[in-house]
């Protein structure tokens, strides 16, 4: 939680809401998914985008401004097959449906937020790593498809979107649904998809809310797998990727890493999730 300590002072300003939305079953599966294709496994399921197999250099060079020691050493990652990633962070209404059907999900995401606002497109936050795991298991059971958290390598690969850029946000962004312009002035979450997507068609990869990934946190990449798989184990800290809208620029870089506690259903900082789905 190195980078989040400063940001926690402003976390109380994050906006939230609770909206009930159904996730009715019923196939909307594409025939022969292709790179960049968006699809849903049910009418109200998260929209997924097909990400191509490929390779990239993970981590940051020692010369990158704002670099932290846990971002190295840089190493080549090969993603062996296509997979799908949710176009947006999981939204409040989508998560509410899960909690209503299962009774799981904890209460932090409800009681720590501000009162509900009349919009169902804000990202859910204040959920634990275990809550996130329960959500993807529920969605897998609901659809018959294998949903899961992204691995840390998959997250960075998806955020970079085939580029060597350090920041996933478009520098020319000016306004989001009437919010005052100026990226670093946004002290609340905003509706997902308000900014431009990256080249893979994914939104808010380094903004809105940090996102859980599968991996145990390690202080560097020494010995990290090169095939895009997760660093696994019985660990107390799990990696989170991405940043808040009010994060300082060095914390909003794509290579920036952080962690949150994952020993139980409590979470030390507001954290949300983005999900992956395996493809045939």
Q: Inform me whether the pLDDT recorded for 248 exceeds 90.
A: no
Answer for the pair 47, 241: CB distance below 8 angstroms, yes or no. Answer: no
What's the sign of the alpha-carbon dihedral 34, 38, 42, 45? positive
- 81: pLDDT confidence band, cut at 50, 70 and 90? very high
pLDDT in tens, 23-70: 333 333 444 567 789 999 999 899 999 999 999 999 999 999 999 999
Residue 206 CB coordination number (10 Å): 23
pLDDT at 33: 60
Minimum mean pLDDT range among 121-130, 131-140, 168-177: 168-177
pLDDT in tens, 207-241: 899 999 999 999 999 999 999 999 999 999 999 99
Minimum mean pLDDT range among 11-25, 84-98, 146-160: 11-25
- 120: pLDDT confidence band, cut at 50, 70 and 90? confident
Mean pLDDT over 179-203 rounds to: 73
How is residue 26 written in tokens?
Answer: 């019923």
DSSP codes of every residue in 133-167: HHHHHHHHHHHSS-EEEPPHHHHHHHHHTT---S-
Minimum mean pLDDT range among 42-56, 84-98, 172-186: 172-186
- 10: pLDDT confidence band, cut at 50, 70 and 90? very low
pLDDT in tens, 237-246: 999 999 988 8
Minimum mean pLDDT range among 9-13, 56-60, 189-193: 9-13
User: Strands 48-51 and 38-39: what pairing?
Assistant: antiparallel
Q: Inform me whether the pLDDT recorded for 169 exceeds 80.
A: no
pLDDT at 101: 92
pTM: 0.83
Residue 103 CB coordination number (10 Å): 7
**Distance (Å, whole) CA 269 – CA 133:** 17
Q: Dihedral, CA atoms, 204, 208, 211, 217, nearest 10 degrees?
A: 110
Q: Inform me whether the pLDDT recorded for 102 exceeds 70.
A: yes
Using alpha carbons only, how large is the chain's radius of gyration in Å?
17
Mean pLDDT over each residue of the chain, to the nearest integer: 81
- 106: pLDDT confidence band, cut at 50, 70 and 90? confident
The domains of the chain, with CATH numbers, are: 4-278 (3.90.1580.10)
């Amino acid at each position: 939680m190195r980078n989040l300590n400063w940001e926690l002072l402003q976390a109380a300003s994050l906006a939230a809401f609770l909206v009930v939305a159904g996730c009715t079953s019923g196939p909307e599966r594409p025939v022969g998914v292709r790179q960049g294709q968006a699809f849903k496994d049910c009418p109200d399921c998260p929209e997924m985008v097909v990400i191509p197999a490929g390779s990239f250099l993970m981590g940051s060079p020692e010369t990158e401004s704002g670099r932290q020691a846990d971002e190295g050493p840089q190493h080549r990652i090969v993603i062996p097959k296509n997979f799908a990633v949710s176009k947006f962070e999981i939204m409040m209404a989508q998560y509410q449906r899960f909690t209503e059907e299962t009774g799981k999900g904890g209460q932090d995401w409800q009681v720590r937020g501000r009162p509900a606002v009349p919009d169902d497109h804000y990202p859910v936050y204040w959920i634990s790593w275990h809550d996130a795991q329960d959500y993807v298991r529920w969605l897998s059971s609901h659809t018959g498809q294998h949903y899961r958290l992204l691995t840390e390598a998959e997250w960075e690969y998806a955020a970079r979107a085939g580029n060597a850029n350090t920041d996933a946000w478009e520098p020319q962004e000016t306004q989001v649904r009437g919010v005052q312009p100026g990226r670093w002035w946004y002290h609340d979450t905003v509706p997902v998809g308000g900014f431009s997507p990256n080249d893979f068609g994914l939104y808010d990869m380094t903004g809105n809310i940090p996102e859980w990934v599968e991996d145990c946190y390690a202080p560097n990449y020494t010995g990290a797998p090169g095939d895009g798989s997760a660093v696994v184990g019985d660990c107390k800290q799990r990696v989170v990727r991405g940043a808040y809208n009010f994060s300082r620029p060095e914390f909003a870089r794509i290579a920036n890493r952080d962690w949150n506690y994952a020993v139980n259903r409590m979470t030390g900082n507001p954290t949300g999730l983005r999900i992956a789905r395996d493809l045939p």
